[in-house]
Structure 1
Amino acid sequence: MARQIFHRSTSTFPADKVYAVMVDPDQLQARLDELGGPGAALLVYAADDGGVRYRLRHGIDPSRLPPMLQNLAPTELRIERTEALRPVGPGRYAGTVGVEIVGTPASITGTLRLTDTAEGSEFVIDGTVTVKVPLIGGKMEGILVEHVQDLLASETAFTQEWLARTYT
């Protein structure tokens, strides 16, 4: 059984500026330095007229996880996340996200959407968390959803601060 994950954030900045900051390799590296945990790195970065694609590594000390998740990876947990975001029209961007928790039966897939609004812009992540473990996979999925929601909130705050420093 899979669990849905939904994250929505808004900004007073237009989508074009939010996109520019979200895909800036300096911002990505700084965000990883602050929030990425042990071994965090920007593994791949590619940009062209069609958009941007990058792969990030996050690290989590298992002692910071609930006991049920510690059983997934008794040593340092590595999370690799690939995002692709491209312009689809004026003030509109769309993309995908894929997350692999290395060496575990857990993954996340989803879509990304960034659009202009009357007040600025809106960023939406709509995804599915899957843990392929009989009987307890659903419980693990729920715990992962909570942790991912916390990470997304922290990343949103970091990006908003970066936007404010860059454009005000």
Structure 2
Amino acid sequence: MPSRIEHRAEFTAPAKAVHAAFVDKAFLDARLAELGGTGARLLDHTSGAERTSFTLRQGVPADKLPSAARALIKGDLVVERTETWWPAAAGFAGETTAAVTGVPGSIKGVFALVDSGAGSTWTTSGEVTVRVPLVGGKIEKTIAEQVVKLLAAEAGFTAAWLAERA
């Protein structure tokens, strides 16, 4: 059974400003430099009138992984994550998929970014699936916990980025 991912972040900036940061190449490069880990980089960035998509590579050193994950993954963990964002009726919506090298499974999620009060709210819902007998559920749970921590760190980075440019 997949492990759920749920995250919510509040920003003092309106959804339009947060979205503009989320899809900006300079923002993504800076966020990856600070939070992306080993070998982090922006692999692809495509922006059109209605949609922006990008793919990020992020890394986690093997010594930072829980023992259950180290038994399955040989070496550093490398995550390739694709996000697509578009305007929605109440703000912005998006979806994400991610693959982890050496792990038979996937991460999938959806985003909503809407104005709320004097700022905006970003919500993420998703799931992690790892298809490994006996230990898959444990690895899913570990990955889901790490994803939520990463989303919280990314929200903190975003808030600071926006505050510096206000």
Same fold (TM > 0.5): yes
AA matched with 1:115 = V
Describe the superposition over 1:28-56 as per-residue Cα deviations: whole angstroms up to 9, x where unpaired.
Answer: 00110111111101000001111210000
Describe the superposition over 1:103-156 as per-residue Cα deviations: whole angstroms up to 9, x where unpaired.
Answer: 311311011110111231100110011110112111111111111111111111
Are 2:74 and 2:102, in contact at CA under 8 Å, matched by a contact in 1? no
Q: Match of 1:57?
A: 57
Q: Match of 1:142?
A: 141
Give, in whole Å, the separation in 2 of the partners of 1:84 and 1:72: 30
Q: Match of 1:133?
A: 132
Q: Report SS of the residue matched to 1:71.
A: helix
Alignment of 1:73-92 (within 5 A): 73-89=73-89, 92=91
AA matched with 1:131 = V
Q: Does 1:109 align with 2:108?
A: yes
- Deviation at residue 72 of structure 1 after TM alignment: 2.4
Gaps of 5+ in 1: none
Gaps of 5+ in 2: none
| Identity over aligned pairs, percent | 41
Q: Does 1:2 align with 2:12?
A: no
Q: Match of 2:157?
A: 158
Structural RMSD (CA): 1.0
Q: Report SS of the residue matched to 2:88.
A: strand
Q: Match of 1:11?
A: 11
- Deviation at residue 76 of structure 1 after TM alignment: 1.8
AA matched with 1:72 = L
- Deviation at residue 25 of structure 1 after TM alignment: 0.5
Q: Report SS of the residue matched to 1:99.
A: strand
Give, in whole Å, the separation in 2 of the partners of 1:158 and 1:72: 31
Q: Does 1:95 align with 2:94?
A: yes
Give, in whole Å, the separation in 2 of the partners of 1:72 and 1:51: 36
Q: Match of 1:118?
A: 117
AA matched with 2:91 = R
Give, in whole Å, the separation in 2 of the partners of 1:133 and 1:104: 8
Give, in whole Å, the separation in 2 of the partners of 1:119 and 1:72: 46
How many residues are matched?
166
Q: Report SS of the residue matched to 2:140.
A: helix
- TM-score under structure 1 normalisation? 0.95
